[in-house]
Amino acid sequence: MYNLNHIHLKSNEPRKTAEWWVDNFGFEIVDDSTRHTGDRFVKCRSANGIPVNISGPLDGQTLPEGDSGPNLGLEHFGFDVEDIDAEIERLGAVGAPLVDGPNELPDGTRFCWVSAPDNVRVELIQWPG
């Protein structure tokens, strides 16, 4: 058995990005330091305890612009929500616009994608019920 250890995001402004995730998805910042490689490294935990690390560029490194469209490699990560329409509106107001959907499956499951800071693609999922 393999347990998911963490998710790691890159940002030119890791603390600002971490604070956005705190404000909008209930993350907690558990550490904020600069590593020996010169990059700021902010350790967070999601509301359900998944470690999410957000780091800046290494000394001398320039990060390319992100893309919140479908991608090869890490495509997106998802959050369960109770009211997808309210979340689309709330997140759009804080700079995370809708980029695809919402769509609905025959069983009533609704889902969409928004673009979070640094063009991170995030799926929102509303389960039927």
Looking at the predicted structure, is the pLDDT value of residue 75 above 90? no
Looking at the predicted structure, is the pLDDT value of residue 3 above 80? no
Q: Are 42 and 32 in contact (CB under 8 A)?
A: yes
pTM of this prediction exceeds 0.85: yes
Q: pLDDT tens-digit profile of 14-55? A: 999 999 999 999 999 999 999 888 899 999 999 999 999 999
Band of residue 1 on the pLDDT scale cut at 50, 70, 90: confident
Residues of the chain with CATH 3.10.180.10: 7-55, 77-126
Tokens of 51: 């470690």
The sheet carrying 77-80 orders its strands as 77-80, 120-126, 110-116, 98-104
Could you say which of 3.10.180.10, 3.40.50.10470, 3.60.10.10, 3.40.30.10 is the CATH number of the domain covering 77-126? 3.10.180.10
